[in-house]
């Protein structure tokens, strides 16, 4: 089908900027805004829903919500402290909310008064964060919500000529803000879009296409998530011909693809994840505290995404005063400590093409390399690790990544099947570096091997 505003290419981008993004594998998402101050509570009641939705869940009239800006002093905000923690956590890129659904802007936008310059803090938080993160060697991406509960011209549906005119004004406003962001912060590497699922946006596929073009003119090499886009007919993420729009699939939210689903490897993708069950903004209540994921669970997810050639974007919701919850900070350090020892299995790695899903964790590999990493996130209670190599391959060497001198004695059960034993298996996530080579003879393997543990 002929489309004017569909996918701009059929194959993944192979330019240097895209390859850089692809090699990062682990990024930090940051949701911070006025919602971090009430932190899931309103007039003493805890709302067990995403804290950034409090305006809706607690039925707060918009003008009352907007008054929160007058309390936004962020006296504990320290961009360098956030960036230093992020660097220690092992992330290679970070994506900051510039404007979430409530319309509040973390930079002094010339197109609205509802911004951080007009608060007691009177600061350009985005500018400070871009500079600090880049000083720490972390690439910066900007999140922008097209949905806007503050702007009078926002519409969910276009049911009248008046709606059409208002929404046209709204789209001009949003385009202006996006151009403003690209011009103020030209060193950013990409944009992450949200709030694009309503009928009003889907009826404006052309605008989403123009945004992508315009931002890419302003910033060469820019990377844009698939969530921005709708095509001529309102199809999202993938156009009406089934081709991916934007530069990578960004639809995996609080869920990951099945670990054996190799079809996702055909394109670039990124999954975003919350630390508590379902809040992106800081939520101070027991609901959020008791659903927190552990470092081990999050490390499992990082390896899971890497094993399918995808990136993992882990969200942090800093507190209303600008400080980071000590539990979140501790988690970031734990993940970072693991990556400092085991990052070779993650950064720049992807699917181990000829290896099947092992059940006890994940295999990762750098394209066309003879080295494969076995990330063991679920150590078998039998304390034996089965390594099913691709048919016709042999194991030349196996070492424990964090302790290469340790003598391992892999047993060869048959030509491409090995077994590793580690007496006192650790409770940590272990990574084995495996070196393989083609065996002299081709061996017969099961015609339809099941998942092997």
Instruction: Summarize as ranges the residues that interact with ligand 16Z (CB under 6 A).
Output: 31, 50, 52, 194, 253, 272, 280
- Give the integer Cα–Cα distance in Å for 355 and 369: 13
- Calculate ∠ Cα 322-323-328, nearest 5°: 130
Chain Cα centroid distance, residue 60: 30
Minimum Å gap between C-beta 315 and ligand 16Z is: 8
- Give the integer Cα–Cα distance in Å for 338 and 296: 9
In sequence order, what DSSP letters do the residues of 79-138 get, joined into one string?
HHHHHHHHHHHT-SEEEEEEE-TT--BSS--TT-S-BGGGSTT---HHHHHHHHHHHTT-
In sequence order, what DSSP letters do the residues of 146-166 get, joined into one string?
S--SS-TT--SS--SHHHHHH
Minimum Å gap between C-beta 26 and ligand 16Z is: 17
**Residue (248 or 280) nearer to ligand 16Z, CB:** 280
Minimum Å gap between C-beta 204 and ligand 16Z is: 19
**Residue (271 or 372) nearer to ligand 16Z, CB:** 271
Minimum Å gap between C-beta 197 and ligand 16Z is: 8
Minimum Å gap between C-beta 383 and ligand 16Z is: 40
**Residue (40 or 348) nearer to ligand 16Z, CB:** 40
Chain Cα centroid distance, residue 281: 15
**Residue (311 or 377) nearer to ligand 16Z, CB:** 311
Minimum Å gap between C-beta 147 and ligand 16Z is: 8
The answer to whether 362 and 303 have CB atoms below 8 angstroms apart is yes
- Give the integer Cα–Cα distance in Å for 348 and 364: 10
**Residue (52 or 124) nearer to ligand 16Z, CB:** 52
**Kind and range of the H or E run holding 368:** none
The answer to whether 283 and 319 have CB atoms below 8 angstroms apart is no
Minimum Å gap between C-beta 324 and ligand 16Z is: 18
- Give the integer Cα–Cα distance in Å for 186 and 222: 10
- Give the integer Cα–Cα distance in Å for 281 and 284: 10
Minimum Å gap between C-beta 263 and ligand 16Z is: 23
Residue nearest to ligand 16Z (CB): 280
**Residue (253 or 403) nearer to ligand 16Z, CB:** 253
Phi-psi domain of 122 (left: phi exceeds 0; alpha: psi -120 through 50; beta: other): left
Minimum Å gap between C-beta 253 and ligand 16Z is: 6
**Residue (52 or 268) nearer to ligand 16Z, CB:** 52
**Residue (228 or 430) nearer to ligand 16Z, CB:** 228
Minimum Å gap between C-beta 155 and ligand 16Z is: 17
The answer to whether 27 and 312 have CB atoms below 8 angstroms apart is yes
- Give the integer Cα–Cα distance in Å for 94 and 134: 10
Q: Which residue has the tokens 């905000």?
A: 77
**Residue (35 or 418) nearer to ligand 16Z, CB:** 35
The answer to whether 68 and 37 have CB atoms below 8 angstroms apart is yes
The one-character DSSP state at 439 is -
In sequence order, what DSSP letters do the residues of 18-75 get, joined into one string?
HHHHHHH-EEEEE--SGGGTTTTEETTEE--S-GGGHHHHTT--HHHHHGGGGG---T
Q: Which residue has the tokens 């998942």?
A: 451
**Residue (270 or 393) nearer to ligand 16Z, CB:** 270
**Residue (197 or 260) nearer to ligand 16Z, CB:** 197
Minimum Å gap between C-beta 277 and ligand 16Z is: 12
């Amino acid at each position: 089908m002929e489309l004017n505003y569909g996918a701009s290419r059929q194959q993944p981008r192979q330019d240097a900027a895209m390859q850089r993004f692809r090699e990062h594998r682990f990024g930090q998402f940051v949701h911070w805004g006025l919602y971090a101050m009430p932190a899931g509570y309103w007039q003493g009641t805890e709302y067990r829903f995403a804290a950034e939705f409090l305006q809706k869940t607690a039925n707060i009239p918009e003008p009352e919500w907007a008054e929160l800006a007058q309390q936004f002093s962020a006296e504990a905000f320290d961009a360098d402290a956030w960036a230093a923690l992020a660097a220690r956590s092992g992330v290679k890129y970070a994506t900051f909310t510039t404007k979430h659904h409530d319309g509040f802007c973390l930079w002094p936008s010339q197109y609205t008064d509802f911004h951080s310059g007009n608060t007691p803090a009177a600061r350009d938080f985005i500018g400070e964060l871009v500079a600090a993160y880049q000083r720490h060697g972390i690439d910066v991406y900007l999140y922008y919500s097209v949905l806007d509960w503050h702007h009078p011209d926002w519409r969910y549906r276009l049911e009248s000529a008046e709606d059409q005119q208002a929404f046209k004004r709204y789209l001009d406003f949003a385009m202006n803000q996006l151009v403003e962001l690209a011009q103020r912060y030209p060193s950013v590497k990409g944009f992450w879009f949200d709030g694009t699922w309503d009928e009003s946006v889907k009826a404006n596929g052309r605008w989403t296409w123009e945004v992508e073009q315009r931002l890419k003119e302003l910033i060469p090499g820019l990377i844009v998530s698939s969530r921005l886009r709708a095509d001529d007919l309102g199809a999202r993420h993938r156009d009406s011909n089934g081709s991916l729009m934007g530069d990578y699939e960004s639809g995996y939210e609080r869920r990951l693809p099945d670990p054996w689903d190799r079809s996702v490897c055909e394109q670039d993708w990124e999954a975003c994840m919350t630390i508590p069950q379902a809040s992106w903004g800081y939520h101070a209540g027991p609901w959020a505290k008791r659903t927190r994921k552990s470092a081990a669970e999050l490390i499992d997810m990082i390896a899971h995404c890497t094993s399918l050639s995808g990136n993992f974007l882990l969200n942090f919701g800093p507190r209303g005063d600008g400080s980071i919850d000590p539990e979140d900070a501790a988690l970031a350090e734990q993940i970072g400590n693991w990556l400092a020892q085991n990052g070779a299995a993650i950064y720049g790695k992807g699917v181990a093409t000829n290896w099947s899903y092992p059940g006890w964790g994940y295999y990762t590999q750098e394209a066309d390399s003879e080295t494969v990493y076995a990330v063991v996130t679920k150590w078998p209670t039998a304390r034996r690790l089965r390594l099913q190599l691709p048919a016709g391959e042999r194991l030349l060497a196996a070492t424990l990544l964090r302790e290469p001198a340790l003598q391992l004695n892999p047993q060869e059960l048959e030509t491409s099947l090995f077994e590793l034993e580690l007496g006192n298996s650790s409770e940590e996530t272990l990574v084995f570096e495996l070196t393989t080579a083609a065996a002299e003879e081709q061996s017969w393997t099961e015609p339809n091997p099941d998942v092997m543990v």
